[in-house]
Structure 1
Amino acid sequence: MISIAELVRRAGDAEVLPLITVSEFFDGNDEEESIAANQWEYGRPPLAELAERFREIEQRDDVAWVRVQLHPETLETDELTGEAVAICTSADEAICESWVDGLDSSGITSGLIDEYVDVPAVPNGMSIWSVTWD
């Protein structure tokens, strides 16, 4: 799991959060309320299952990358808090929705939901979909 100190370093003077990898967010993270806190114990699967699902998505041939979008208050609270998960893919909305079925998400939204640094390149023919939880 990425440290807050590393997030601060990568955010720089502008304090714009980086998109972080699935491993940076989930590896060693046992804080169930660190993502989709309002859905934890109300339908959202455990972190381990979320991590596994996003790692599976990341391995698909039609996916360039998957990153966790941190909540803007992460730097203020010194707590790693995910707000959404970005998927860069050539798949359409319906297919992406099928990948996250059962995660108790609010669905997917086109594009990133906030401003971030360390956003990997988006290859031709691909777009970004964000998995959100409200």
Structure 2
Amino acid sequence: MKRFHVAGSLVFLIILATLVHPVHSSSRDDHALSVTEICPEPIDAQVKAALPDRMNPEKLRRILVRIGEMAKAYCPWKEGKNPYDKITDPLVSLEEFFDGNNDKGSIGPNLDSQPTPAEFYSFLREIRSRSNVYDVRILVTQYDGPGNWPFSDTVFVITSESPQTVEGWIPAKFKPDEVGIDAHVNGREAVAIPAGMQPVTLWYD
């Protein structure tokens, strides 16, 4: 009889432990894995890997903090899980993207003229200074990890003008592959667009 009571008690304790601490399956849905689980503190290591001739380490830190989850997603993926598809692409200011950036591969790398980030910055500030332009933003679409500045293939010009008019403002040196209207708001950071204006996009392959 005593044996029965002991065994019964053990079974009861096992059931109770299972209820309090449920057993988790080893397989896990990609979307259930948070970015911080994969890489809790990647930014310090990435800043240390910065090449001084290509970028200012402290300014690199600032842009990595700004793009947040995208920067954290670069580090080695735990168990092959990829959180990239659930990250919102940051839409940063010209100052955030260009201040401290000397990485030619960060924007327009396939242009024949190969403009520097400083030249791109100057060109886009001229567009932003127009009275019919509300703002110019950079859509950060990729980050390739240590030694690189965040990458963009798309510039947003928030303006009252048409894509055709905006295209006429662009010197040959900075001609994008496509100029159009942004109709895809899902997957990117939201920005204010005043009444009567629209986001004209400049896309660089």
What is the TM-score with the length of structure 2 in the denominator?
0.56
Instruction: Tell me the distance in 2 between the aligned counterparts of 1:45 and 1:67.
Output: 18
Answer 1 or 2: higher relative contact order, Cα 8 Å, separation at least 6: 1
Structure 2 CA distance for partners of 1:18 and 1:113, relative to 1, 3 Å: same
Is the contact made by 1:67 and 1:87 (CA closer than 8 Å) also made in structure 2?
A: yes
Structure 2 CA distance for partners of 1:112 and 1:26, relative to 1, 3 Å: farther
Q: Alignment partner for residue 63 of structure 1, among 129, 133, 147? A: 133
How far is the alpha carbon of 1:11 from its aligned partner?
8.8
Instruction: Tell me the distance in 2 between the aligned counterparts of 1:5 and 1:120.
Output: 19
Q: Report Cα offsets for 1:103-130 as digits up to 9, x if no partner.
A: 031131211667311x321111111111
Secondary structure of the corresponding residue to residue 88 of structure 1: strand
How far is the alpha carbon of 1:70 from its aligned partner?
1.1
CA RMSD of aligned residues (A): 2.4
Q: Alignment partner for residue 34 of structure 1, among 91, 106, 131? A: 106
Query: Could you list the runs of 5+ residues in structure 2 that have no partner in the other structure?
Result: 1-58, 73-82
1:86 corresponding residue in structure 2: 156
Q: Alignment partner for residue 20 of structure 1, among 89, 92, 100? A: 92
Secondary structure of the corresponding residue to residue 37 of structure 1: coil
What is the TM-score with the length of structure 1 in the denominator?
0.82
Structure 1 outlier segments of 4+, above 6 Å: 10-13
Q: Which has the higher helix share?
A: 2
Query: Could you list the runs of 5+ residues in structure 1 that have no partner in the other structure?
Result: none
**Greater gyration radius:** 2
Is the contact made by 2:162 and 2:200 (CA closer than 8 Å) also made in structure 1?
A: no
- What percentage of residue pairs aligned between the two structures are identical? 25
Q: Which has the higher strand share?
A: 1
How far is the alpha carbon of 1:64 from its aligned partner?
0.9
Q: Alignment partner for residue 99 of structure 1, among 149, 164, 169? A: 169
The count of aligned residue pairs is 128
